[in-house]
């Protein structure tokens, strides 16, 4: 796999080293967790976590662009990735953000000229934004950080569109990637966004021509112009926002297969739905599969680190919350003291303060991990902070030597 040149401060002496050893020595399909024991503390870390291929690619392009263009205005359409630590560092280095991740404008396109550099974020961007860039004569080939796995989804979707399939996008309607995916089709291609299996079941009623409330109200703002439920569900293909729960995308695809079999019969049904499981992102799948390997362990407390608007990180939180007491934090800085933590409530979309959050027992098992846009250095500082609260000393050299001896 391609190697990347990234800022050293995103790496760590312990976490990154162990990750590299496992990557080099083990089969890719070995999803067993890493265990680091420090005194009476056990830290379990999933096999796969942190920067994925697409994020590394985006970070390398951004920092290389900064280094090679010290006297130019450099703009990012929105957050490059959903990690506050990385985005703040880019801002400190002079990159200007044109809009927030919600789409709210920060800087007008009127302030951008042909001489400026515009970086496309890892999620990709909408056709509308690309049209503005082209109209201004700005070249983006060297500054497009769109994840290749996102591009793969777009390409697959357009292949299906040419074969007259209606595109069903499993994603969050407000997410930059889903917005970009939706817009990267010709306007006349029928397509619709659904958030989850519940909405898939709602949509199936229209596919089966059941009498239902107004379709346009039910899926307002999430379908293409001139979409017709009566004629546009004859052939369908499901593609996804790459950071959604992989198992849910598979469940939705299987569900629609059954619906088309019900409508057209088992023999003919397969001709009305495309097999799109090859579009699932490997990194999302590996991160989620890795964390599921810990569900049968006696974990006392789980910390999931990443941006609060990070879809892939929130999926990891959802998995853990089903099994362990879990805190979703943006970095180790949210551990205010050994008695107080600030964490994110995904349901209420707010930060909360929790008192007396650390376990008080003789042996403690922690799970720590980060989303696909979380630097290894953040996880290491988290581990160090927890150890400090329990008065435990970390001998990183000894831990690495013992880990290497296992191979």
Q: Considering the candidates 79, 176, 177, 257, report the single residue annotated as catalytic.
A: 177
Cα distances (angstroms) measured from residue 201 to each of 154, 167, 175, 184, 198:
24, 16, 22, 26, 5
All domains of the chain in start order, with CATH? 8-52+283-405 (3.40.1010.20), 53-143 (3.40.50.11270), 164-241+244-280 (no CATH)
326-369, pLDDT tens digit by residue? 999 999 999 999 999 999 999 999 999 999 999 999 999 999 99
Find the mean pLDDT for residues 7-29: 94
The predicted pLDDT at position 278 comes to 74
Instruction: Give CA–CA dist 342/327, Å, rounded.
Output: 9
In sequence order, the 6+-apart residues with CB closer than 8 A to the CB of 94 are: 66, 74
Instruction: Give the pTM.
Output: 0.92
Average pLDDT, the chain: 95
- Per the annotation, the verdict on 177 as an active-site residue is yes
Question: Model confidence at 1, in pLDDT bands (50, 70, 90)?
Answer: low
pLDDT at position 5: 95
pLDDT digits (tens, 9 = 90+) for 64-76: 999 999 999 999 9
Give pLDDT tens digits for 130-151: 999 999 999 999 999 999 999 9
Percentage of residues in the chain with pLDDT exceeding 90?
Answer: 92
Q: ∠ CA 380-384-388 to the nearest 5 degrees?
A: 170
């Amino acid at each position: 796999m391609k190697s990347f040149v990234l800022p050293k401060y995103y790496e760590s002496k312990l976490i990154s080293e162990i990750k590299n050893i496992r990557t080099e020595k083990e089969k890719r399909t070995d999803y067993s967790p890493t265990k680091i024991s420090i005194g009476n503390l056990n830290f379990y870390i999933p096999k796969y976590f942190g920067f994925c291929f697409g994020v590394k690619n985006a970070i390398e392009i951004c920092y290389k662009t900064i280094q090679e263009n010290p006297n130019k205005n450099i703009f990012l359409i929105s957050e490059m990735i959903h990690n506050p630590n990385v985005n703040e560092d880019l801002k400190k280095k002079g990159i200007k953000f044109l809009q927030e991740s919600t789409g709210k404008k920060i800087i007008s396109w009127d302030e951008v000229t042909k001489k400026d550099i515009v970086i496309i974020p890892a999620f990709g961007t909408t056709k509308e934004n690309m049209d503005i860039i082209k109209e201004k004569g700005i070249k983006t080939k060297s500054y497009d950080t769109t994840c290749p796995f996102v591009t793969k989804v777009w390409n697959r979707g357009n292949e299906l569109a040419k074969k007259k399939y209606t595109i069903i996008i499993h994603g969050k309607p407000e997410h930059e990637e889903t917005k970009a995916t939706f817009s990267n089709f010709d306007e006349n291609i029928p397509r619709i966004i659904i958030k989850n299996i519940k909405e898939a079941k709602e949509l199936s009623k229209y596919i089966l021509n059941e009498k239902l409330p107004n379709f346009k109200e039910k899926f307002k703002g999430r379908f293409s112009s001139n979409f017709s439920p009566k004629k546009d569900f004859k052939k369908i293909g499901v593609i996804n926002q790459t950071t959604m729960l992989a198992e849910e995308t598979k469940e939705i695809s299987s569900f629609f297969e059954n619906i088309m079999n019900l409508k057209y019969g088992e023999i003919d049904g397969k001709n009305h739905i495309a097999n799109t499981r090859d579009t699932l992102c490997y990194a999302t799948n590996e991160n989620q599969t890795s964390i599921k390997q810990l569900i049968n362990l006696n974990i006392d407390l789980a910390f999931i680190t990443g941006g609060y608007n990070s879809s892939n990180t929130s999926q990891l939180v959802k998995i853990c919350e089903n099994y362990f007491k879990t805190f979703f934090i943006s970095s180790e800085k949210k551990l205010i003291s050994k008695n107080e933590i600030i964490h994110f409530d995904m349901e209420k979309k707010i930060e909360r303060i929790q008192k007396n959050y650390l376990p008080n027992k003789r042996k403690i098992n922690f799970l720590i991990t980060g989303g696909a846009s979380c630097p290894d250095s953040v996880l290491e500082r988290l581990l160090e902070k927890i150890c400090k609260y329990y008065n435990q000393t970390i001998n990183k050299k000894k831990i690495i030597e013992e880990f290497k001896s296992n191979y």
